[in-house]
C-alpha cells in the first residue's frame, strides 16, 4: 500500500514536470519572475554558504592534521585531504543538503501558502499555467547554483589553509603543495555535474510538495518538513548514483 502511494507520488512528480512546460508565460513576465527567484534563492543563500564553507574547511584541515601523528607522513597531505574533501563531497553535497532546509522550506512554504489562500486557483482561472509561472523560474534561477558551490569550494580550501597554517599544523608552502598534489581537473567537472542535478532537485521537489499540498495553514509547516526530508534523501541517492557512474 505504501509502495503504491510512493509510486503514484513519483508519477505525479514527472507529470508535474511535463505540465510545467505547457502554455509558457510570456517572456516579459517570466524575466521578472526569474530575477526575483535569483534574488530570493541564490543571492540570499550566499551568506550562510560562505560562513559554513569557511569554517568547515578549517575543521577538515585541523582534523586531518591531528590524525597525521606519524612523523614520516608528509605535512602536505593536510592540504591534499582538505582539497579532496571540500571539492568532492563537502561543497556540492553537504551544502545542497543544507540548502534543502533553507531554500526547500522557503519554496514549499511560499507555494503552499499560495495553495491555501487559493492564489494558485486564481492563476488557473485567469488562464495562466500556474506550474510554469511558479516552478519554471525557480529551475532557471538555480542554474546559477554552481556559482554558489564554486564560492563554497574556494572558501572551504581557503578556510583550511588559514586553519592549517595559522594553527601551526603546516607551513604555507607545504599546504599549497598539498593543494596542487595529484590534482585531477575532472573532479571539478564531476562536482559541477552533481551540483546541476542537485539544483534541479532543489527547485522541483519542494515545489511539488508545496503545489500539491492539501489542508490549511498548519499543513504548510508539515509539507515543508516532508519536502526537506525527501529532497535530502533524493540528493543523497543521486550523489551515490552519480559517484558510481562518473568516478568508478
Domain limits for position 124: 2-23+36-247
Q: Residue 158: its pLDDT value, please?
A: 93
Residues 11, 115: contact at Cβ < 8 Å? Answer: no
Q: Residue 9: its pLDDT value, please?
A: 85
Q: Is residue 28 part of a domain?
A: no
Q: Is residue 140 part of a domain?
A: yes
- Judge whether residue 12 has pLDDT over 90: no
Q: What is the pLDDT of residues 34-70, one digit of tens each?
A: 999 999 889 999 999 999 999 999 999 999 888 887 7
Q: Is residue 126 part of a domain?
A: yes
Q: Is residue 170 part of a domain?
A: yes
Q: Residue 217: its pLDDT value, please?
A: 77
Residues 192, 94: contact at Cβ < 8 Å? Answer: no
Q: Is residue 30 part of a domain?
A: no
Q: What is the pLDDT of residues 79-135, one digit of tens each?
A: 888 899 999 888 899 999 999 999 989 999 999 888 888 888 888 888 888 888 888
Residues 62, 163: contact at Cβ < 8 Å? Answer: yes
Residues 191, 149: contact at Cβ < 8 Å? Answer: yes
Confidence (pTM): 0.89
Q: Is residue 75 part of a domain?
A: yes
Question: How far apart are the C-alpha atoms of 112 and 119, rounded to whole Å?
Answer: 10
Cα–Cα distances (Å) from 50 to 29, 43, 144, 152, 160, in that order, read: 32, 11, 16, 6, 13
Q: Is residue 110 part of a domain?
A: yes
What secondary structure does DSSP assign to 67-124, as a single string? Answer: H---TTS-TTHHHHHHHHIIIIIIIIIIHHHHHHHHHHHHHHHHHHHHHHTTHHHHHH
Overall number of domains in the chain: 1
Q: Is residue 93 part of a domain?
A: yes
Residues 57, 158: contact at Cβ < 8 Å? Answer: yes
Amino acid at each position: 500500500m505504501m509502495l503504491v502511494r510512493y509510486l503514484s507520488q513519483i508519477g505525479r512528480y514527472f507529470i508535474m514536470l511535463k505540465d510545467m512546460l505547457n502554455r509558457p508565460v510570456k517572456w516579459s513576465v517570466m524575466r521578472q519572475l526569474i530575477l526575483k527567484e535569483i534574488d530570493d534563492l541564490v543571492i540570499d543563500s550566499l551568506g550562510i554558504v560562505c560562513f559554513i564553507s569557511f569554517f568547515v574547511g578549517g575543521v577538515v584541515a585541523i582534523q586531518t592534521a591531528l590524525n597525521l601523528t606519524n612523523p614520516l607522513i608528509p605535512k602536505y597531505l593536510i592540504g591534499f585531504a582538505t582539497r579532496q574533501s571540500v571539492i568532492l563531497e563537502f561543497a556540492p553535497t553537504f551544502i545542497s543538503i543544507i540548502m534543502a532546509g533553507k531554500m526547500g522550506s522557503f519554496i514549499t512554504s511560499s507555494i503552499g501558502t499560495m495553495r491555501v489562500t487559493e492564489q494558485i486557483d486564481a492563476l488557473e482561472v485567469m488562464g495562466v499555467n500556474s506550474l510554469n509561472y511558479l516552478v519554471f523560474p525557480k529551475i532557471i534561477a538555480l542554474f546559477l547554483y554552481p556559482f554558489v558551490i564554486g564560492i563554497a569550494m574556494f572558501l572551504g580550501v581557503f578556510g583550511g589553509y588559514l586553519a592549517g597554517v595559522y594553527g601551526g599544523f603546516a607551513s604555507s608552502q607545504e599546504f599549497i603543495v598539498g593543494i596542487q598534489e595529484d590534482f585531477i581537473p575532472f573532479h571539478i567537472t564531476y562536482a559541477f555535474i552533481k551540483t546541476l542535478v542537485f539544483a534541479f532537485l532543489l527547485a522541483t521537489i519542494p515545489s511539488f510538495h508545496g503545489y500539491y499540498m492539501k489542508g490549511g495553514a498548519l499543513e504548510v509547516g508539515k509539507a515543508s518538513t516532508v519536502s526537506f526530508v525527501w529532497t535530502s534523501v533524493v540528493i543523497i541517492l543521486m550523489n551515490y548514483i552519480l559517484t558510481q557512474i562518473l568516478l568508478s
